[in-house]
Amino acid sequence: MKPVVVIGFGGFGREIAWLAKECGRSVLGFLDDGIEPGRKGDYAVLGHSSTWVDYPDAEFVVAIGNPRVRRRVVERLDAEGMDKFTTLVHPSVKMDDSVVIGEGALICAGCMATVDIKIGRHVILNLNVTVGHDDVIEDFVTVAPMVALSGNVTLESGVEVGTGAAIRQGVVMSSGSMLGMGGVLTKDAEPNRVYIGSPAKPFKELPEFI
């Protein structure tokens, strides 16, 4: 298996380096656009993300939790000709063969996805997320730890779901919307709007995702 380079040297990036190791991959180091290259404790920051071409034998993941920032970085790398994104699924994850997972997706320890589920490109499912039947999770969605998605839920591109939130069956979160931690979403969410509470209500607006 090819070694992995993690793009994004934050706390989440270090968690994803651990995920890669749990998946039996070696980790060459990190690329980050805002940090001077060099050794940082046990970790090696190799350079700016555009230096990915210097690692022809590696595969890459983008470990940036914010969907808007992640999409910007991925689109720039796509434009630079990047064709080496890899997908990491922790060995503890349980899912049926009917689950389809897109390139660059990161599925962390303890997640469970049942049947007929679509998970898009560069989706992040953090620790212990449960995903119900027929859910559609589009590109660049970020789901925080301990979230419960009922069946037939749609999370459109760039949606973010906070820690410990729950979503009722059949609900659609439109592109760029967000559910705050602990929220219980019982109705569809408008695009680029944050919801909080139980039952969740609109809280504030976010910049356009598309």
Ligand X SMILES: CC(C)(COP(=O)(O)OP(=O)(O)OC[C@H]1O[C@@H](n2cnc3c(N)ncnc32)[C@H](O)[C@@H]1OP(=O)(O)O)[C@@H](O)C(=O)NCCC(=O)NCCS
Residues that bind ligand X (CB under 6 A): 126, 144-145, 162-163, 180-183, 194, 196-197
CB count within 10 Å of CB 155 equals: 29
Minimum distance, C-beta of residue 163 to ligand X, in the bound complex (Å)? 4
Minimum distance, C-beta of residue 15 to ligand X, in the bound complex (Å)? 9
Nearer to ligand X, 47 or 180 (CB): 180
Nearer to ligand X, 176 or 183 (CB): 183
Q: Is 90 designated active site?
A: no
Nearer to ligand X, 145 or 151 (CB): 145
Question: Any binding-site annotation on 34?
Answer: no
Minimum distance, C-beta of residue 144 to ligand X, in the bound complex (Å)? 4
CA distance 46 to 109: 26
CA distance 203 to 178: 10
Q: In what order do the strands lie in the sheet with 59-62?
A: 38-40, 43-47, 27-31, 4-7, 59-62
CA distance 166 to 137: 15
CA distance 76 to 187: 35
Catalytic residues: 133
Positions at the binding site: 65
